[in-house]
Amino acid sequence: MTRYVAPIQDMRFALYDLLGADATMAGLRGGEVINRELIDAVLEEAGRFNEQVLAPLNQSGDAEGCHFDAETATVTSPKGFKQAYAQYVEGGWPGLNAPEAYGGQNLPHTIGVLVKEMIDSANLAWGTYPLLSNGASDALLTHAEEWQREVFLKPLVEGRWTGTMCLTEPQAGSDLGLLKTHAVAGKTEGTWCISGTKIFITAGEHDLAENIVHLVLARLPDAPAGSRGISMFIVPKFKVGRDGAMGERNAVACGSIEHKMGLKGSATCVMNFDGAEGYLIGQPHKGLAAMFTMMNAARLAVGIQGLSLIERALQNSLAYCRERLQMRALSGAVAPDKAADPIIVHPDVRRMLLTQRAFAEGGRALVLYAALQSDIHERSTDDAERARAGEVLGFLIPICKGLLTEISVECTYHAMQTYGGHGYIAEYGIEQFARDARITTIYEGTTQIQALDLLGRKVMQLQGAGLKHLLGDIAAFCQAHAGDEALGEFVGPLAVHAKTWSDLTQDLGKRAQSNPEEIGAAAVDYLFYSGYIVLAWIWARTAAVAGKSALPEAGRTAKLDTARFYFARILPRTHAHLAAMKSGIEGLPEVH
Ligand SMILES: Cc1cc2nc3c(=O)[nH]c(=O)nc-3n(C[C@H](O)[C@H](O)[C@H](O)COP(=O)(O)OP(=O)(O)OC[C@H]3O[C@@H](n4cnc5c(N)ncnc54)[C@H](O)[C@@H]3O)c2cc1C
């Protein structure tokens, strides 16, 4: 069985030493309860739950998968999942970040993302059941009427019910403007009848909770074509009245579940809506705004999935490489008393391990930084600060989602490689990480869609507001440490990259004016390029604080070593992306 130990020491480093997030959170609305003692207690408790309850079900859930009974249209989750969910609910975890008015604990997202990372590291498939309750809760909180929040949000926050996001249809994936599911006025005033087929719906049907709240995108009869004609509806599995009373089965049913490469413990459902009763959320034809609220939360959440797999892959491959004995070091035996040296002595094995560590620890700090912006955006009392944080967050979400998921594919493959043939064998559990990682680059908007959001929308349409703030912060960091010799190896290259990033962005803007196809040609390279520079900033900041941190001596040395590795071995990837972007649309001829 693979191991999982919640990386609480590194979480504390990122929160307290690197970001000073405890002080920031304490200064926000509702922050009077925030202190290290509280945060540490949450992390310790979450660590115990995830190590002891969820992690042991990861491999068995993968081997067993979900069961679909076509006669009753029911889905049974793998053995142990239902009991684990009951424990999760009993522990009060579903309401960690929800407002107190709806039964939650109102803790900042910055704490919530660490708990989420642990859940996904421990058992990614199990984590998909509560996952979409969070996105659905956000959409209800921001766009629903008060009675809808009372009736639907409270049970989601308690964990008695779970949520889904029903967007995708056979002909409408990345392009939701193509969706056909439609709604007509229902018999009872204020209700709607929704009909259509949704595919690939995560946790669309299962046995974990009493009811399932589907948030469904559909068209009203007078809807304009395309994405401007989309409305959002609440469609519960069991009908629910305005008084909150649960009634008969609604006309929505699971048609089948998918057989997948990974994430086998997560039910991926075809959902048939056959005149199902629902309620409209927000204004007619304005479902896109509600969908984006839901998707922003979900995109950051999928970025965390990527991070969580990198962490778990690292923990296992590091332990394996310390124990596995094969061949001698090139410069002579390191463990002469043993039959051979542990494989960790071989430089390329270390490259694979350090790559995983650089992205696990750097990625964690990145996600925490993004979550902190989300808390500032929601809870600061200063309007300018709120607006700024929202712009930075908007810029970082496609990077967190796109980069960390693509890198999770790379890192889980590195982990498999460090195990040699054993990595390919199911019994060792490592190949599961690689299979589970693969979907993260696809759902919640593929990497290509994240990249278009970053370059096309956040940079071109919104004039790169978030980018400008980040460039300003990087410049301030470089200036503050300009005379610091010990940091010169980080500050110098970081300043050069920031300048090139700014010039490149302007250049792409000019080229896009004469040919919009240039955006599509550059977008994915731009996402990677930007992500590597943001992580370079994080690693340079890490190098600046590691020596003064609460980490033990070995931990401080490891931080500095990893920062050096990042600058020597990972940051140069930007050169290839830059060259690719410079080749422009001409470098991508028609494929015959
Ligand atoms: C396991 C699983 C769980 C899922 N869970 C949910 C869920 O809970 N709810 C839900 O609604 N959906 C869910 N999905 C659906 C998922 O979000 C979609 O599969 C995804 O958005 C891609 O849509 P598609 O599969 O139709 O691919 P397409 O949109 O057909 O894309 C095919 C390829 O074309 C590329 N492409 C498309 N447009 C562009 C462009 N403009 N520029 C560059 N490249 C482009 C894409 O990047 C991709 O590589 C899930 C899918 C899976 C497999």
Going residue by residue through the chain, which has 592 residues, state the pLDDT in tens, using 9 for 90 and above: 899 999 999 999 999 999 999 999 999 999 999 999 999 999 999 999 999 999 999 999 999 999 999 999 999 999 999 999 999 999 999 999 999 999 999 999 999 999 999 999 999 999 999 999 988 898 999 999 999 999 999 999 999 999 999 999 999 999 999 999 999 999 999 999 999 999 999 999 999 999 999 999 999 999 999 989 999 999 999 999 999 999 999 999 999 999 999 999 999 999 999 999 999 999 999 998 888 888 888 999 999 999 999 999 999 999 999 999 999 999 999 999 999 999 999 999 999 999 999 999 999 999 999 999 999 999 999 999 999 999 999 999 999 999 999 999 999 999 999 999 999 999 999 999 999 999 999 999 999 999 999 999 999 998 899 999 999 999 999 999 999 999 999 999 999 999 999 999 999 999 999 999 999 999 999 999 999 999 999 999 999 999 999 999 999 999 999 999 999 999 999 999 999 999 999 999 999 9
Q: Does any domain span residue 526? A: yes
Domain count, the chain: 2
Question: Does the beta carbon of 571 sit less than 6 angstroms from any atom of ligand 1?
Answer: no
Question: Does the beta carbon of 268 sit less than 6 angstroms from any atom of ligand 1?
Answer: yes
Name the token pair of 490.
């980080």
Identify the residue whose C-alpha is closest to ligand 1 atom 24: 173
CB 372 within 8 A of CB 428: no
Q: Does any domain span residue 296? A: yes
User: In this predicted structure, what is the pLDDT of residue 63?
Assistant: 98
> How far is ligand 1, taken at its centre, from the CA of residue 22, in Å?
37
> How far is ligand 1, taken at its centre, from the CA of residue 409, in Å?
17
Strand partners, 238: 249
Distance, CA of 396 to chain centre: 11
Identify the residue whose C-alpha is closest to ligand 1 atom 4: 200
Q: Does any domain span residue 347? A: no
Question: Does the beta carbon of 197 sit less than 6 angstroms from any atom of ligand 1?
Answer: no
> How far is ligand 1, taken at its centre, from the CA of residue 525, in Å?
19
Q: Is the entire prediction scored with pTM above 0.75?
A: yes
Q: Which atom of ligand 1 is nearest the CA belonging to 204?
A: 8
User: In this predicted structure, what is the pLDDT of residue 39?
Assistant: 98
Question: Does the beta carbon of 521 sit less than 6 angstroms from any atom of ligand 1?
Answer: no
- Which residues neighbour 544 within 8 Å (Cβ) at sequence distance 6 or greater? 477, 481, 484, 487, 490
Question: Does the beta carbon of 583 sit less than 6 angstroms from any atom of ligand 1?
Answer: no
* Separation of alpha carbons 315 and 360, rounded Å: 10
User: In this predicted structure, what is the pLDDT of residue 580?
Assistant: 98
Q: Does any domain span residue 424? A: no
Question: Does the beta carbon of 443 sit less than 6 angstroms from any atom of ligand 1?
Answer: yes
Question: Does the beta carbon of 446 sit less than 6 angstroms from any atom of ligand 1?
Answer: yes
Helix H or strand E encompassing 254? strand 252-257
Round the CA-based radius of gyration of the chain to a whole number and report it.
24
Q: Which atom of ligand 1 is nearest the CA belonging to 445?
A: 21
User: In this predicted structure, what is the pLDDT of residue 8?
Assistant: 98
Which residue is catalytic, options 169, 205, 406, 444?
444
Q: Which atom of ligand 1 is nearest the CA belonging to 263?
A: 1
Q: Does any domain span residue 438? A: no
Identify the residue whose C-alpha is closest to ligand 1 atom 44: 448
Give the count of alpha carbons within 13 A of 576, CB side only.
Answer: 8
User: In this predicted structure, what is the pLDDT of residue 171?
Assistant: 97
Closest residue by Cα to residue 87 from 48, 114, 40, 117: 48
User: In this predicted structure, what is the pLDDT of residue 197?
Assistant: 98
Among 275, 293, 315, the domain boundary falls at 315
CB 501 within 8 A of CB 528: no
Pocket test for ligand 1, best of 166, 446, 457, 518 (most atoms within 8 A of CB): 446
Helix H or strand E encompassing 202? strand 192-202
- Which residues neighbour 279 within 8 Å (Cβ) at sequence distance 6 or greater? 148, 190, 191, 192, 233, 234
Cα–Cα distance list, 225 to 180, 222, 229, 230, 553 (Å): 10, 9, 6, 9, 62
Q: Which atom of ligand 1 is nearest the CA belonging to 167?
A: 11
Closest residue by Cα to residue 65 from 406, 413, 435, 423: 435
> How far is ligand 1, taken at its centre, from the CA of residue 174, in Å?
5
Cβ atoms within 10 Å of 244's Cβ, excluding its own: 12
Q: Does any domain span residue 495? A: yes
Distance, CA of 32 to chain centre: 28
Cα–Cα distance list, 567 to 207, 252, 412, 492, 562 (Å): 48, 53, 21, 11, 9
Q: Does any domain span residue 374? A: no
Say which amino acid occupies 567.
F
pLDDT above 70 covers a percentage of the chain that reads: 100
> How far is ligand 1, taken at its centre, from the CA of residue 134, in Å?
21
Cα–Cα distance list, 58 to 92, 123, 493 (Å): 22, 5, 41
Q: Which atom of ligand 1 is nearest the CA belonging to 165?
A: 9
Among 287, 315, 343, the domain boundary falls at 315
> How far is ligand 1, taken at its centre, from the CA of residue 197, in Å?
16
> How far is ligand 1, taken at its centre, from the CA of residue 405, in Å?
14
User: Which residue range is the domain that position 45 belongs to?
Assistant: 1-315
Among 265, 295, 315, the domain boundary falls at 315
Identify the residue whose C-alpha is closest to ligand 1 atom 2: 200
pLDDT digits (tens, 9 = 90+) for 10-42: 999 999 999 999 999 999 999 999 999 999 999
pLDDT digits (tens, 9 = 90+) for 528-541: 999 999 999 999 99
Helix H or strand E encompassing 163? strand 161-166
Pocket test for ligand 1, best of 168, 230, 439 (most atoms within 8 A of CB): 168
> What single string gives the DSSP state of each residue in 57-75?
GHHHHHHH--EEETTTTEE
* Separation of alpha carbons 305 and 297, rounded Å: 13
What CATH number has the domain bearing residue 7? 2.40.110.20
User: In this predicted structure, what is the pLDDT of residue 289?
Assistant: 82
| Whether 444 is catalytic | yes
> How far is ligand 1, taken at its centre, from the CA of residue 209, in Å?
27
User: In this predicted structure, what is the pLDDT of residue 232?
Assistant: 96
User: In this predicted structure, what is the pLDDT of residue 292?
Assistant: 82
User: In this predicted structure, what is the pLDDT of residue 430?
Assistant: 97
Q: Does any domain span residue 453? A: no
